[in-house]
Structures are given as structure tokens and as C-alpha cells.
Amino acid sequence: MGSKSGVAARERILREAEHVIHLKGYGAACMEEIAKACGMTKANLFHHYGSKSSLALAVLDFKIAECRARRIEPLCAQAAPEKAVERMFDEGARFFQGIGCKAGCFVGNIALEMSDCDERFRARVGDFFAEWAAGIAKCLERCKAAGYFAPSLDSRATAEAIVALYEGAIMLTRSQRDAKIFKRVGKIARFVLEQHKAEKKRRKITMGPKTPCGC
């Protein structure tokens, strides 16, 4: 187990490296620039991370952990799933508006740049997106079992579509500098779920204090 100073140094390196790689991309980022951003020599940086790829993979794991804590959670634990999905897009709109619609999603950027170049990056990113979609699908399945959604809902495909819409909204927002794209796409994501609500739910019969899946 590392010392507190060593752990702090590694976290500082990960944050600074994430900033450089996020803005420039993996290919254009260099260890010398990252070391300078960290306020250390390149030799000291290599002492912590022996190669650029090992550092970038550590940054990717760091960002995935952040995304997991913020985004991968049961939708049905918050509110009606269709409302929770729309809120997720609304929050994305606020976030990207706040940073000028720049940089995009670190995990998504790495997926586009490195998936065909390095299997380690592809596997990590693939596992993350699969986990995110599986979490959404699990919630939708529970809601189907509770009678909130009709049996016609394909939970897995719908969950994958929601993830794809979110990541696609990031790309369009970044390229067009328009965070309102998130709100427009979020309404479509909600509409997809609305179409599969059980008929009695469309008539707005309430379920009481519990969430749609009964948890």
C-alpha cells in the first residue's frame, strides 16, 4: 500500500494527464507536457508510470470510476424511468453548456481513437458501456415485471439505444457547440420509453409512494 504522498501524487498525475489527453487526444499528448502540467520532471513521471500507454490506461480507469459513480445507477431508484432518462440528458445539457460544449466524453473519445489500435483500451471501454447499458436494462426489466412497461419493450436494445443516444448527443453537441441538442435528444429517449408503458400507466393511474419497479 502506497504512502499518502504517493497516492496524492498519482491522483494529481491522473487528473493532469486526463486534462491533456482529453483536449489533445492520446496520440498528440506527450509525457513531457503531462509532466510539466504536474509540476514534475519527465523522469519522475516515468517513475510513477513506466509508459504513456500505462498512464493513459490508468486515466481511463480513473474516468470510468467517476462515470460509474455518477451515471451507472438504477433508474427506477430515482423516479419513473422515462423521467429519469430525460433528466440524465438535461443534466448533460447543463454540464456541456458550462464547459462551452468542448472536449466531449473522455471515455467516448478514447473509444473512437484507440479501439482499433490497442485491445486493452477497447476492452475497458467496451466493458464500461456494456455495464452502463446493462444497468439500464435491469431497471427496465424490473419495471416490466411490475407491470409498468408492456411485454413488448426490448429492455436490452432500448438500454443500448439510450446509451447510444447519449454518446451521440455528446458528439453533436461538441461539433455544433449547441448543448440544446441534449434536451432535444432526451425528449426522444423519453418518448421511446413512453410508447411501451402499460396502457393503464398511460392513463396516469398512480402506483402510490413506491417507484415503478416496486422498490
Mean pLDDT per segment of 10 residues, for the chain of length 215 residues?
Answer: 70 95 95 96 94 97 86 62 91 94 93 96 96 92 93 96 96 96 96 89 46 54
Nearest 10 degrees: CA dihedral of 151, 154, 155, 160? -170
For the chain, give every domain's residue range: 4-59, 72-202
72-202: CATH topology is Tetracycline Repressor; domain 2 (1.10.357)
Q: Return the pLDDT at 130.
A: 95
Q: Return the pLDDT at 50.
A: 95
Superfamily of domain 4-59: Homeodomain-like (1.10.10.60)
Cβ neighbours of residue 110 closer than 8 Å, sequence gap 6 or more: 21, 26, 56, 60, 121, 125
Residue 149 sits at φ, ψ, to 5 deg, of -110, 150
DSSP string covering 43-77: HHHHHH-SSHHHHHHHHHHHHHHHHHHHH-S-GGG
Cβ neighbours of residue 87 closer than 8 Å, sequence gap 6 or more: 78, 79
pTM given for the model = 0.86
For residue 59, the number of C-alpha atoms closer than 13 Å in the C-beta half-sphere is: 26
Q: Return the pLDDT at 16.
A: 97
